[in-house]
Amino acid sequence: MFYYLLSITICALIISFIFDKNKTIKALKIAYKKFMNILPAFLVMLILVSIVLFLVPDKMIINYLGTKNKFFSVILASIFGSITLMPGFIAYPLCGILLKKGVSYMVLAAFTTTLMMVGVLSYPVEKEYFGAKVTIIRNLISFIISIIVAIAIGFFFGELI
């Protein structure tokens, strides 16, 4: 899959270069600057996640997020996702690692959807722009939708049947 995306990207870059060399070079320079700006934060998050995954035993992860009690695992993952500030480019590889350790798709869906949709730590900032009532309602609805998505994923992957 990676090689297909890489091939498509290279082809698109060549086509762009053929049509307008100056714009393509300018876009590559902008992309490089943005990449270099995000790289330190990405590396720090990756290192911290790696350290935590190294220090937390696999059995503990499986015990709390594994397949024994699916309801508890989904709720726990939803709570973790709600209170965590993590960009998607860190969360998705983390979910890949957790999947390899035996965490179900349903639990990973609960974690990632709450991570992206529910903002407990961003509440103060959001409250300033939208007000407390709208912020709380949005977060509650997002939390409920995340649980529904997790259940749907559970049915889709046969984890609830």
Statement to judge: residues 26 and 42 lie in one domain: yes
119 shares a domain with 143: yes
**Would you state the structure tokens that stand for residue 72, as one six-digit string?**
């508890």
pLDDT digits (tens, 9 = 90+) for 63-116: 778 767 888 889 999 998 898 877 787 788 888 888 888 889 999 999 999 999
Same domain, 67 and 117: yes
Range of the domain at 35: 1-55
Q: Do 64 and 115 reside in the same domain of the chain?
A: yes
Considering the domain architecture, whether residues 87 and 28 belong to the same structural domain is answered as no
Instruction: Give the pLDDT score at 16.
Output: 94
Same domain, 98 and 144: yes
pLDDT tens sequence across 52-66: 777 777 777 777 787
Q: What is the SS3 assignment for the chain?
A: CHHHHHHHHHHHHHHHHHHCHHHHHHHHHHHHHHHHHHHHHHHHHHHHHHHHHHHCCHHHHHHHHCCCCHHHHHHHHHHHHHHCCCCHHHHHHHHHHHHHCCCCHHHHHHHHHHHHHCCCCCHHHHHHHHCHHHHHHHHHHHHHHHHHHHHHHHHHCCCCC
- Mean residue pLDDT across the chain: 88
Q: What is the pLDDT of residue 155?
A: 94
Final residue belonging to a domain, choices 55, 73, 95:
55
Boundary residue ending a domain (25, 55, 85): 55
Residue 61 has a pLDDT of 75
Q: Quick one: 97 and 46 in the same domain?
A: no
**Residue in this structure with the two tokens 């899959």, named with its chain if needed:** 1
Report the predicted TM-score, pTM, of the whole model to 2 decimal places. Answer: 0.70
CA triplet 36, 7, 87: central angle to 5 degrees? 40
Residues 109 and 155 in one domain: yes
pLDDT at 1: 66
Indicate whether 47 and 64 sit together in one domain. no
Identify residue 155 by its one-letter amino acid code.
Answer: F
Domains contained in the chain, number: 2
Closest C-alpha among 78, 64, 148 to residue 120: 78
Mean pLDDT of 114-142: 90
Structure confidence at residue 40 (pLDDT): 85
- Which residue in 40, 29, 128 sits closest to 87, CA to CA? 40
Q: Is the pLDDT of residue 124 over 90?
A: no
- State the Rg of the chain over Cα: 20
